[in-house]
């Protein structure tokens, strides 16, 4: 199932749609029919019956011709908000997502977990499958 969040563009913003594509393990930043950015992730099941699943973000990028417009930040914000709204925890391996969380600790701080070796292995498998 694709979850979609349409970003309403302000006067100087690019009109985009941010879509969770779980089949591909990524949030997609779309402009019309074009995917212009992605935030890739792997989902790791929670450690117990009451432990939420963990969404391990391992790669974020925006096409070079769309850089410098704040789109990566909009993608990160939407992906992190959707993760929290789904009741899952956030694990940041991606340098961009780590920096975003450091600069914008709220409202995410309570949902961010320290990466485990299981998280790293899941991200490595997912990244290899993307190639």
pTM for the full predicted model: 0.88
State the architecture of 3-130 in CATH terms: 3-Layer(aba) Sandwich (3.40)
- Residue 71 has a CB neighbour count (10 Å cut-off) of 21
Q: What is the pLDDT along the chain (131 residues), one digit of tens a residue?
A: 344 444 444 445 568 899 999 999 999 999 999 999 999 999 999 988 888 999 999 999 999 999 998 999 999 999 999 999 999 999 999 999 999 999 999 999 999 999 999 999 999 999 999 87
CA atoms of 131 and 109, how far apart (whole Å):
32
CA atoms of 26 and 24, how far apart (whole Å):
6
- Domain borders along the chain are 3-130
């Amino acid at each position: 199932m694709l979850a979609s969040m349409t970003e309403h563009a302000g006067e100087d913003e690019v009109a985009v749609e941010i879509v969770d594509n779980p089949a591909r393990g990524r949030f997609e930043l779309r402009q019309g029919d074009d995917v212009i950015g992605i935030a890739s992730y792997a989902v790791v099941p929670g450690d117990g019956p009451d432990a939420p699943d963990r969404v391990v973000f391992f790669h974020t990028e925006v096409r070079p011709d769309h850089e410098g417009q704040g789109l990566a930040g909009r993608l990160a914000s939407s992906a992190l908000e959707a993760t929290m709204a789904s009741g899952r925890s956030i694990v940041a391996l991606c340098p961009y997502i780590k920096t975003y969380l450091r600069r914008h600790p709220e409202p995410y701080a309570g949902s961010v977990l320290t990466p485990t070796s299981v998280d790293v292995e899941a991200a490595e498998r997912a990244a290899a499958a993307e190639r």
